[in-house]
Structure 1
């Protein structure tokens, strides 16, 4: 919670409105380790007050409680465990969908889906990580999994560095103006941002791992979610 005053103010407002407050606190809990639960979001008012919690099930879909709709959430906060954290992002809620059988908390079906206005894709200069067992600068594979932090590169900058020859649906990170990135043998590994896999290691320039060079290129997972979800649903590959 942002502060005791904010909490007390909202409790007072809810009391005046006659609303029942459910699940307002975590009792006897401990501070969550940094970046351990990046799927968590804060449902917030138009003025930035925390109203309810929620969690991402897709980069643009949040699950929360239907009774939170009574508080009229306007936006969600993502990217930080701290409501005042420097990495937080505020995303406007596009639409709300309460379960059709929800009436009150006591009667059950207390679940709601939120569609946010933009996909939560990586932002320019965001620090992410890539891991693998591929080659190192010593030109040999390793037995121990290696991980390195890389920065997301602006798509236009990346296209320019690749002479406008990049395919669609990619993310660029690392391997440009830096000494960090992936190498051969790392293909297929994940680019992880805020605890979520957002990309798949695809290619670099001419198998050159002696950075700096052109940006590293990853397949953008978000562009393939319908195909992934179809496979998960049907449990078979369809063409």
Structure 2
């Protein structure tokens, strides 16, 4: 593992206690070509750090705990071993939620303003957000995707992986998470620690942001994964977007 990643990982685990940052896809498969064209890799000098997703031609939504030494994003490819200059955009501004402290306390959400707009095409598209506060119904199949490890002792992958997950009722989720923060969505396990910020997609809309799960072992049996509930932050998102119309 890259030395910087080790340092960040140790610092984050120390601050989170048992809450480990999420995102390495478990029991998934390669995303189909030209699917999930909204997916974004947040990078530091060519190294993948976190996931994210394009919500406007010049804005990416991700997790606040991904804030740090980000230099650019990569769009328009599922394969991070094949990145052309045209797939890259520098980050002009970061807008982490003003009351974010750590994932276990919620508000784990951040907007990134890109230095240059992306032109939607066959490789790059935006994804819709909810238009109002919502509750995901039972028996809904959702997806989460990322570029991280595929098992507890695995290695990172270059090709985007995706897995189906199902929402877990808050009451049931709190049976495992004693201090579950407000404004989150729980779902069956699908990611592991490290590659956070990607979207929970249900019915074609990004409804959640990968936030945290149980530390260390990706094979934990009882702890649901936790996502930031995007619908609860729509006014915050829209205010920032309106301030940056151009």
TM-score if structure 2 supplies the norm length?
0.45
Whichever of the two has the greater Rg, that structure is: 1
Tell me which of the two structures has the higher relative contact order, counting C-alpha pairs closer than 8 angstroms and 6 or more residues apart.
Answer: 2
TM-score if structure 1 supplies the norm length?
0.46
